A and B are shown apart, each in its own frame.
Chain A
Amino acid sequence: MPAIAVSLIASAFMFISSAACLVLRPDLGLMVPSWGVALLVSALMIAISFSRAKAPLKRIPVLAADLLFSFGISLVIFTGFLQPNFVIIRPLCVGASFGYGVILPFLVLVASILGVKDSINILYRYSAKGREVLVFLAIRASAVLALLILGGILFIIISKGIWVISWDFLTMPHRRLGQSGGISTAIVGTFWMVLGAMIVSAPLGIGSAIYLHEYSRSLRLNRMITIAIGVLNGVPSVVFGLFGLAFLVTSFGVSLLSGSIILGLINIPTIILTSQEALKSVPNTLREGSMALGASKWQTIRKVVLPSAMPGILTGIIMGVAKASGETAPIMWTAVTFTATSVQMIYGVIPDLFQPVNNLDYHLLNLIYFLGAWDVEARAWGTALVLVALVLGTNMLAILVRNHYRKKISW
């Protein structure tokens, strides 16, 4: 039916353009009259096709309400009732005010969704099939939305941050409180701190996972530990920071070591949980096969179970890297200072564990503090870009590792 096609196209146009306007907030200008026309066209086409489709009469009240809504908005647009200076100030005493640039696209967005709903319902004559199409459309739209949000954030960070990225930016320390120079101290500090966190958390996490999954026979103890891990996983990271301030900084000072230990502690639950999953995925028949050959439990774990579970465990560790490199709160008072020099190496190989370091998150946080006072915005975006690239890169690495091993091991 051509009428339905026209109304669907008009609704789709309104949906995309109004959503874009809601996000980007451009000057609405020419958008407004074209929305008015689209609203009228889609309402008219829906009315025509409804009368032709011999749809059930009891659907008329809802449809009429929808059409009146569209019609009302186009009326508002054409009569000029809504002016660009229109604003609803603190409706119902909530803390925000809504202006023309938000209200109008929002109304159009609602109308477009109603238009799509009615068009598809008419197209399928209000059958169950039509409802299914609508539900799938909504589900797919939410999936696409999630992608769009990630894409949008990435786009904004890249488009604003790419301009300051240069070899010097990546390899020079910052000068004049971040107004010039680079972010090398932050990159180096992040690297060593995350590495330290992994050295702290990986053995402990993998060890506990092996104990829980392979050795422990007491169901009660097992359950207690599992609950404890879950709670630990839910503790806000700033609480770990407070813990570090009270128990680590007193002995090690504000230092790389304190930060590594705290980030390591934060990571342990993640590593235990992912390692446990990895161990669970190793079929029991492999363990039995090994034991039946006279292998001891430890030989079985070391030679058969761990190699088979390694991809999963590695994935967990890499995810831990991504998580640890994104934490700011726990290290703010325990490990980092903005003015820290790059990590000093003892004998050229061992990093000095007892010095404060800079860190990408913390560097970004400081630049944001300075935004009002100095011109550091571009540098802040650049730092964010490096940080996001780091997290994204480690996540990609985790996926690659997993896929690589999944191809090699299958049962």
Chain B
Amino acid sequence: MTSKIISKGLNLWYGEKHALKDINLEIPEKKITALIGPSGCGKSTFIRCLNRMNDLVEGVVIKGDVLYDGINIYENDVDVVEIRKRIGMVFQKPNPFPMSIFDNVAYGPRIHGFKNVGQVVERSLKAAALWEEVSDRLNQPALGLSGGQQQRLCIARTLAMKPDVILFDEPCSALDPISTGKIESLMEALKDNYTQVIVTHNMQQAARVSDCTAFFLLGELIEVGETKRLFEMPKEKSTEDYITGRFG
């Protein structure tokens, strides 16, 4: 099992607040890694470090390395645009742009000057299991879709960039159970071709979809391991407390 992304001694401060403390984590290639933990434990902050989305936040200081295919993405000469092209991200709240369905998916390819945008859009929508539902109304505004469809559109939008890593930041927390189920089976289907990382509040979801699970608490990585093992035989006391529902 090779590692796609390796974080080494990653520390992050929001101003005075030390939000991530010395995180060492390897994310295996073409597997789904779940990050779990109570609110404010740093799991979302961590996932946003993996494609440098925290650059956009004011007053953030990051120390340590994040190696993507052996390259430290926090080196000065690394092109952030290239990183974000390769490492896509799906957010908590579906955030389609206020334009048509087609234009939403074509947004990234157009910006980066891809050829055959039409084909890319169709392939991405099919890969996101949305093509059947929207193929007859590609020119309608994306904001007219349901929440679950919007989220799959956002996934399609990310797939259109031909990334090899997809980060999901609580992708289902704004969705109903049926839409959640669709997203989960979509993640399962994408597993063969993409390395996926998912932050989730929902432990059942982590147990259902992921191969590896990492448990965060108060900015520290407490335990990481194969999902089945971590849920059945946690090594740490606090992991056990969390997954058995004693806090969180």
Contact = CB atoms under 8 A, between A and B. Distances in A.
B112 A294 contact: yes
A287 B57 CA distance: 12
A303 interface: yes
A283 B97 CA distance: 10
Interface stretch (B1-9, B81-89, B185-193, B199-207): B81-89
Contact of A293 (B58, B82, B93, B108): B108
Contacts of A290: 97, 107
A303 B107 contact: yes
Contacts of A291: 53, 56, 84
Contacts of B89: 288, 292
Interface in B105-163: 107-108, 111-112, 141, 143, 154, 157-158, 161
Nearest to A287: B56
Interface stretch (A25-33, A45-53, A143-151, A403-411): A403-411
Interface string B30-60: 0000000000000000000001010010100
A307 interface: yes
A217 B59 CA distance: 10
B248 to A, nearest CB: 25
A411 B98 contact: yes
Contacts of B95: 283, 285-286, 288-289
B98 A295 contact: no
B24 to A, nearest CB: 25
Contacts of A308: 97-98
A295 B88 CA distance: 12
A159 interface: no
A299 interface: yes
A307 B108 CA distance: 17
Contact of A288 (B91, B98, B111, B112): B91
B98 A292 contact: no
B61 interface: no
Contacts of B78: none
Contacts of B81: 294-296
Contacts of A288: 53, 56, 89, 91, 95
A285 B91 contact: yes
A292 B99 contact: no
A304 interface: yes
A283 B161 CA distance: 23
A38 B98 CA distance: 62
Contacts of B108: 293-295
Interface in A294-324: 294-296, 299, 303-304, 307-308
A304 B81 CA distance: 17
A295 B111 contact: yes
A294 B84 contact: yes
Most-contacted residue by chain B among A286, A294, A299 (CB, 10 A): A294
A217 B98 contact: no
Contact of B98 (A287, A299, A409): A409
B98 A289 contact: no
Nearest to A297: B56
A289 B154 CA distance: 8
Nearest to B90: A292
B143 A293 contact: no
Interface of A: 217, 283, 285-296, 299, 303-304, 307-308, 408-411
Interface of B: 51, 53, 56, 58, 81-82, 84-85, 88-89, 91, 93, 95-99, 107-108, 111-112, 141, 143, 154, 157-158, 161
28 contacts: A285-B91, A285-B93, A286-B95, A286-B98, A288-B53, A288-B89, A288-B91, A288-B95, A289-B95, A289-B96, A289-B154, A290-B97, A290-B107, A292-B51, A292-B84, A292-B89, A293-B85, A293-B161, A294-B85, A294-B112, A295-B107, A296-B81, A303-B111, A304-B97, A307-B98, A308-B98, A408-B98, A411-B98
Given A285-B95, A291-B53, A308-B98, 16 more contacts: A286-B97, A288-B89, A288-B91, A289-B91, A289-B157, A292-B84, A293-B88, A293-B111, A293-B161, A294-B82, A294-B112, A299-B111, A303-B97, A408-B141, A409-B98, A411-B98
